[in-house]
Structure 1
Amino acid sequence: MCTGKCSLCIGRTLYPLALISIICNIVLFFPDWDVQYALERHITREVTLMGGLVGGGVMVLIPAVHIYMTGERGWCANRCGMFLSIILAAVGVAGALYSFIVAVFGLLHGPLCKDILDDWSTPFNTKDVNYLEYPDFWELFCTEPKNVVKFNVVLFSILLVVNSLQIILCGIQMINGLFGCLCGTCRDTDNTRHNNVTLTTTVHVA
């Protein structure tokens, strides 16, 4: 696969991943599908850091657009475009890594919820035992919002998977961009072949 086509493939794959990351972060603001917790600021701290929205979302989406364009004939399918894609892919790695780290801490600390003493706290953050291994106790320590622990675990886990894929893809693009700078994007070669075929056909017709 030439470097231009590889960029097209990576760019197309990053689009939905960035969108999933943004959606997950937005949904995390509404535990139990209720806006009151966001309005009252009873939201997990890691959610307010907006790793999925800013890091895995915007900081990956912008490079994805350029990476896709580096593979598109007539846009940035040149060595300069490939060089810029390396820098933007590095930005994508940084954004995805930021979102990944926030998601890890979101899982480790657990959600902000109303505990058994009717106070808002992060009850699992003070436990020596990993709460993820004991789902039967989630509702006992978090009484409100309903199913907030499962809600956070599922969405933060999705972010971890999505961000991991983003880091891998942006890393591949950095290598692909380097080869593109050195060897070109193959698009010029494609155009040359197309022109040669057209010229040959014209000569035969004549």
Structure 2
Amino acid sequence: MCCSVGFARSLGLALLPLALCCIIANLLLLFPMGEITCIQQDRLASYIWYFGGLGGGGLLMLVPAVVFITLGKCGCCWNQSLMMCGSVLAAVIGLLGSGYCFVMSGFALMQGPQCYTNYGWSYPFADHAGRYLLQPETWTRCLQPLHIVEWNVTLLCVLLGLAVLEFILCLLQLGNGLVNAVCRPCCYKQEYSLNA
């Protein structure tokens, strides 16, 4: 049990910086190139407003991180088993949060940024099914804000990577928690019968 609690705590400590990075990346998406004009004029891509990094990969991910870190603080065995089951629930919340972050970031990448082109404000890459990502020469269609495509692609790829890491960590704890929730009572029964 001590090993599984230590493992869960290390996963929680790993989730904290990932969640903070998701929050920062999502906030940077709201202010392209550090400017506030896009948010003031409502010129941000629609999927950015779903806050995949801020809500899913960030704030929601703090739940499993805190649960994993505080796991096993009580010395009572029954409470430790209950806490391990609670960590399974927290891991499921983390899986949902990281999944939401991944999906929203993927949709935002496929849609591309909203920018000013020769034909006015539009989504010039929305009908390309993400092919523009492999054609950087087409990114110059966006005249304003400057380098908006590079800004969005970089931050959204960061969010995708962070979401995958968070998903893997929560999946590891889900397996760890389930194994301990199922096997721990069996081990106690065997130990009791040996002592008897």
- TM-score scaled by length of structure 1: 0.83
* Number of the residue aligned with 1:99: 101
Call closer, same or farther: CA 1:129–1:17 in 2, change over 3 Å: closer
In the alignment, the residues of structure 1 paired with residue 76 and residue 45 of structure 2 have an alpha-carbon distance, to the nearest angstrom, of 42
The verdict on how the C-alpha distance between 1:7 and 1:71 changes in structure 2, with shifts beyond 3 A counting, is farther
Query: Is the 1:4–1:180 contact (alpha carbons within 8 Å) kept by the matching residues of 2?
Result: no
Q: Is the 8 A contact 2:112 2:123 kept in 1?
A: yes
Between the aligned partners of 2:89 and 2:35, the Cα distance in structure 1 is 40
Name the residue aligned to 2:88. 86
State whether residues 115 and 144 of structure 2, in contact with CA within 8 Å, keep that contact through their aligned partners in structure 1. yes
> 2:136 matched to 1:135?
yes
Which segments of 5 or more consecutive residues in structure 2 lack a partner in the other structure? 185-196
Counterpart residue number, 1:161: 161
Q: Deviations over 1:154-175 (max 9, x none)?
A: 0000001000011111011111
Percent identical residues: 35
5+ residue gaps, structure 1, are: 185-206
Aligned-residue offset at 1:84? 0.7
Query: Which position in structure 2 is the counterpart of 1:116?
Result: 118
Displacement after TM superposition at 1:72 (Å): 4.5
2: distance between equivalents of 1:75 and 1:61?
25
Q: How does 1:183-202 map to 2 (within 5 A)?
A: 183=183
> How far 1:180 moved relative to its partner?
2.8
1:38 counterpart residue number: 39
Q: 1:16 to 1:109 in 2, by over 3 A?
A: same
Find the counterpart in structure 2 of residue 178 from structure 1: 178
Does structure 1 conserve the Cα–Cα contact (< 8 Å) formed by 2:109 and 2:130?
no
Q: Retained in 1: the 8 A contact 2:110–2:130?
A: no
Gap change, CA 1:86 and 1:181, over 3 Å in 2: same
SS in structure 1 of the partner of residue 118 of structure 2: coil
User: Are 1:7 and 2:15 matched, yes or no?
Assistant: no
Q: Is the 8 A contact 2:113 2:123 kept in 1?
A: yes
Is this contact kept in 2: 1:3–1:179, CA < 8 A? Answer: no
Q: Is the alpha carbon distance of 1:126 and 1:40 closer, same or farther for their aligned partners in structure 2, counting shifts above 3 Å?
A: same
C-alpha distance in 2 between matches for 1:170 and 1:151 = 29
Counterpart CA distance in 1 for 2:129 and 2:25 is: 28
TM-score normalised over the length of structure 2: 0.87
Computing the radius of gyration over CA atoms, which structure comes out larger, 1 or 2? Answer: 1
Q: Which residue of 2 aligns with 1:200?
A: none
Matches for 1:43-62 after TM superposition, within 5 Å: 43-62=44-63
Distance 1:144 1:75, change over 3 A: farther
In the TM superposition, what are the counterparts of 1:19-38 in structure 2 within 5 Å? 19-38=20-39
Shift in Å, 1:179:
2.5
